[in-house]
Amino acid sequence: MTTGQAERAAPLSPATGTGRTRLAALAQRHGAALVLVLVVLLGSLTFGSSFTGAGNLGAIALDASYLLLVATGMTFVILSGGIDLSVGSVLALSGVLAAYGSRWGTAGAVLLPLAVCGLIGLVNGLLIGRARLAPFVVTLATLLFARGLAFAVTQEGNQVYIIPADLALTRIGQANVLGVGVPVLIALAVFVAAGVVLNRTRFGLRVFAAGNGDGHAAELMGLPVARIRVRVYVLSSLLAGLAGVLIAAQTTSGLPTLGEGRELEAIAAVVIGGTLLTGGAGSLGGTLAGVLLLKVIQNLINQVGTLSSAYQQVVSGTFLVLVVLVQATLARRRRQ
Amino acid sequence: MTEPAGGTPAFHPTPADDSAPGRSPASADGPVAPNGPVPAASVPGRSHVADPMGAAGRVSWLSDYGVYLALGVLLSFNLVFTPNFATVANLRLQLVQVAPVAIVALGMALVIGTGGIDLSVGSTMAIAAALLPLYLGYGPWPAITVAVLAGAAVGLVNGGLVAYGIQPIVATLGLLVAGRGAALVLADGRLVEIFDPTLAAIGGGQVLEIPLPVLTALTVAVAAGFVLRRAAFGRKLLAVGGNRPAALLAGLPVRRTLITVYVISGVLAAMAGVLTTGRQSASDPSFTGLLIELSAITAVVVGGTPLAGGRVRILGTLMGALLMQLIIATVIQHDLHDSTARMIQAAIIVTAVYAQRNRNGT
């Protein structure tokens, strides 16, 4: 997936160039946040309290928190020059395993899915990092595998495991702190931690380096590119797994059909956030803005009562195309 | 995304592609090494496989013929262990079921040959399916024409975006999402039953005992093979996929080639949508072509076409589609579950790319 020329611009640093080029770089970095502010303003003006009410905002936040977890992992993967198609299936598998493991208490409901998801991430990472197989195909295979496993565990979806309501996991998953759902807080905490790791640690820097120019330079400099890739895919699977556990806790069961197409939504959020699919450039802040933007748009279309939910897809897809078009154009401008 | 394990000092030591020598408007992308002197498609995972064109010795036999081997093994297994496998009815059923996937996969193979990917095929099928009942009032052929034109339009958008420099995954991802939504909006989210003899014949009729969908798939395969081997367009397509900067420098119409390839993929997907709708006697925008992009990509990859582009295997793609279909059929006929089939498919995909890895710097 190394095609695409416009995105191969210099690393996004506003310090390069002057005047208009700097403005373009800024727009590319913070475009999603800017549009988000506009859309939220528009939404609150049009729909008033049915949009800005605490209940509605809480629903958006809850919905966004699961996507944010997946998209955070996806950001690491994409920054390192890869892609992870398996996250949607891994999320479903994790939910199923959480429900299955709840017979051994909260520990089983959390550790079993995370262990299995970590293992899947490890397989992804080893095949991509060490064996140097194409990320797209490898994670396509694990997409099929994880979905298959989720169906196998649930006897082809006929067996629904229920998480007991008195389990600590269920109570935590459904609890509110100061009106904010616990999954939201967990997702935010993970996001902040991921931000620190990405921007303040050696590992974070190496992720950027591994994704820059397909990692040739990083490898020549002696960076352990393979090991970085392995870790990045493990992280992505673990975060998808965590999202699955949280959804299971919220719904007290695990459905093997969950999360279909979630990987594409996460990729869309990351790309809308200004991270380049070619790797090496982007930011987690952009991903947060991308996630919120997608969820707010979906919510706003729901607010218009007359539109069917199919319009969500139309708008989200069109929006994605527009964003990448603008990005490509900006990148072109800056090169000239 | 694979890069040399080392021992290729020709690579540029600087991370910024901008400083690559001989930078042209479309340089430094694709599976090709970002710098000029390294020949196309020869960015091997191991430095000792320096010359894939020579094909001597090191080229993995398995990656070229593995799909035939696997298919042979699976067929033999079924002939021995599966009752009622070698019946005309069963073979016909398997072939009819695989036909839409095969048609989509052939278009996908051409797209992948340019180093791209088309995720929107399933949604294109849904759009075609949704359009059919809306225009059936004008007769079946006008309705089919509209459906196919819609597929071409989707392809045009995809190709335009890719030619403009947007990564194929993102460009076609946008239409995957928007296209499915558009199909649902067009059909008002409903399944519509269709009683049209022409459509029913296209989806289930037979000529000389051969089901029409199968015949369509074979025709498309022959046409694709002809275009690739004998037509100038096929050469351009492979050149664009093999080494885009070189193709551009050689004066090839890179953008037009890209756009045409995605239009072909869109048209084929729409045809598959028409076939499916005809066979089901119903237009079902929610489920027509759902996740078929994954089956199609799988068929192409398992068939030995490298994702990096520059090389397309038509027969391999057909066999890849057939292999995946047979896995599902075998598993079901032996009272195993669908989930088992998926896990087996996953293993086969990984095996297929593993066999290819020494040759393709995907």
Residues of A in contact with B16 (CB under 8 A): 10-11, 212-213
Q: What pLDDT does B63 receive? A: 64
pLDDT at B7: 36
Nearest CA in chain B to A257: B339
Nearest C-alpha of chain A: how many angstroms from B114?
Answer: 10
How many separate domains does chain B show? 1
**Residues of chain B neighbouring A260 (CB-CB closer than 8 A):** 291
Distance CA B258, CA B276 (A): 27
Nearest to A317 among B4, B18, B175 (CB): B175
Higher pLDDT, A144 or B48: A144
B327 contact A CB<8A: no
B27/A131 CB distance under 8 A: no
> What's the CA gap between A118 and A236, in Å, rounded?
9
Model pLDDT, residue A188: 93
Is B20 at the interface with chain A, CB within 8 A?
no
- Domain membership of residue B27 (yes or no) is no
Q: How many helices (H) and strands (E) does chain A have?
A: 14, 2
pLDDT at B9 over 70: no
- Name the residue range of residue B206's domain: 87-356
As given in the structure block, the two tokens for residue A246 are 């949280």
Tell me if B57 is assigned to some domain.
no
Two structure tokens written together for B151: 């597929």
pLDDT for the residue A288? 94
Structure confidence at residue B15 (pLDDT): 37
Most trustworthy range by pLDDT among A66-75, A299-308, B56-65, B273-282? A66-75
Q: What is the pLDDT of residues B179-190, one digit of tens each?
A: 888 888 888 878
State the smallest CA–CA distance between residue A48 and chain B in angstroms.
27
Report pLDDT for B47: 39
pLDDT of residue B160: 92
Pick the residue from chain A with its C-alpha nearest to B171.
A321
What is the rounded distance in angstroms from the CA atom of residue B56 to the CA atom of residue A38?
Answer: 60
Output the pTM of the full model.
Answer: 0.80
B296 interfacial to chain A (CB closer than 8 Å):
no
Assigned domain for B41 exists: no
Q: Are B113 and B312 in contact (CB under 8 A)?
A: yes
CA distances from residue B257 to A47, B239, B260, B271 in whole angstroms, order as listed = 47, 10, 5, 21
* Distance from C-alpha of A147 to C-alpha of A151, rounded to nearest angstrom: 6
| Token duo for residue A276 | 């380049």
Distance set, CA A276 to CA A67, A73, A127, A301, B362 (Å): 19, 15, 23, 28, 18
For chain B, how are helix, strand and coil distributed in percent, rounded to 5? Answer: 65, 0, 35
Q: Look at B342 and A151 and tell me if their CB atoms are within 8 Å.
A: yes
Torsion angle of C-alpha atoms B147, B148, B151, B153, degrees rounded to 10: -100
Using CA coordinates, name the residue in chain A closest to B294: A140
Q: How confident is the model at residue B359 (pLDDT cuts 50, 70, 90)?
A: low
Residue B152 lies inside a defined structural domain of this protein: yes
In a domain, A5, yes or no: no
- Mutation for B interface: A12, A93, A123, A132, most B CBs within 10 A: A132
Distances, alpha carbon B14 to alpha carbons A209, A212, A215, A218, B34, in Å: 11, 10, 10, 9, 11
**Confidence check on the interface: ipTM exceeds 0.90, yes or no:** no
Comparing CB atoms, the residue among B1, B171, B189 nearest residue A81 is: B1
Cβ atoms B285, B129 nearer than 8 A: yes
Say if the Cβ atoms of A219 and B168 lie within 8 Å. Answer: no
Q: Does B166 contact A325 at a Cβ distance shorter than 8 Å? A: yes
CA distance A117 to A280: 25
Contact B362 A131 (CB under 8 A): no
Q: Which has the higher per-residue pLDDT, B86 or B98?
A: B98
Q: Are strands B206-207 and A176-177 parallel, antiparallel or unpaired?
A: unpaired
Q: Does A304 touch chain B (CB under 8 A)?
A: no
**Parent domain of A199:** 61-282
Length of chain B: 362
Inspect the interface and report whether the beta carbons of A264 and B1 lie closer than 8 Å.
no
Cβ within 8 Å, pair B165-A5: yes
Going by C-alpha positions, the residue among A121, A234, A151, A148 that lies closest to residue B346 is: A148
User: What φ, ψ does residue B282 adopt, rounded to 5°?
Assistant: -160, 145
**What's the angle, vertex CA A277, arms to CA B37 and CA B167, rounded to 5?**
70
* CA A250 to each of CA A69, A163, A244, A266, B359: distance values in angstroms, whole numbers, following the listed order: 15, 10, 10, 20, 47
Interface of B with A in 51-110 (CB under 8 A): none
Q: Which residues of B touch A320 (CB under 8 A)?
A: 170, 173-174, 177-178
In a domain? residue B214 = yes
Three-state secondary structure of B292-347: HHHHHHHHHHHCCCCCCCCCCCHHHHHHHHHHHHHHHHHHHHCCCCHHHHHHHHHH
The per-residue DSSP string of A225-244 comes to HHHHHHHHHHHHHHHHHHHH
Residue in B29, B166, B338 closest to A2 by CB: B29
* Confidence (pLDDT) at A197: 93
- What distance in Å separates the CA atoms of residue A140 and residue B295, rounded to the nearest whole number? 10
For the stretch B104-117, pLDDT in tens is: 999 999 999 898 89
pLDDT value, residue B329: 83
Cα–Cα distance for residue pair A243/A191, rounded to 1 Å: 12
Tell whether A50 is covered by a domain: no
- Cβ-contact A281, A275 below 8 angstroms: yes
Residues of B in contact with A128 (CB under 8 A): 1
Beta-carbon neighbour count of residue B67 at 10 Å?
Answer: 28
User: Which among B29, B166, B172 is the top mutation candidate for probing chain A, defined by the most A β-carbons within 10 Å of its own β-carbon?
Assistant: B166
**CATH number for the domain harbouring residue B200:** 1.10.3470
Tell me the average pLDDT of chain B.
77
Give the H/E segment covering residue B2.
none
Question: Chain B partners of A268 at a C-beta cutoff of 8 Å?
Answer: 173-174, 177
Residue of B nearest to A325 (CA): B166
A 17-46 residues with CB below 8 A of B? none
B31·A310 Cβ contact <8 A: no
Do the Cβ atoms of B297 and A147 come within 8 Å? no
What's the average pLDDT block by block, 10 residues per block, for chain A (336 residues)? 38 51 69 83 82 82 92 94 91 92 85 94 92 86 90 83 81 77 90 93 89 79 87 96 91 82 86 84 90 89 76 82 81 70
Question: Looking at the domain assignment, is residue B72 inside a domain?
Answer: no
Token pair of B39 as six digits = 């020949």
Q: Which residues of B touch A127 (CB under 8 A)?
A: 350, 354
Cβ of A11 under 8 Å from any chain B Cβ?
yes
Residue at B277: amino acid letter: T
- Please calculate the CA angle A135-A321-A307 and round it to the nearest 5 degrees: 115
Rounded to an integer, the average pLDDT of B54-72 is: 64
pLDDT higher for A246 or B165? Answer: A246
Number of structural domains found in chain A = 1
Nearest partner of B353 among B313, B303, B293, judged by Cα: B303
* A34 falls within a domain: no
Cβ–Cβ under 8 Å, residues B115 and B310: yes
Concatenate the DSSP letters of all residues of B177-216 into one string.
Answer: HHHHHHHHHHTTT--EE---HHHHHHHH-EETTEEHHHHH
**Model pLDDT for residues B304-334, shown as the tens digit of each residue:** 888 888 888 888 899 999 888 888 888 877 7
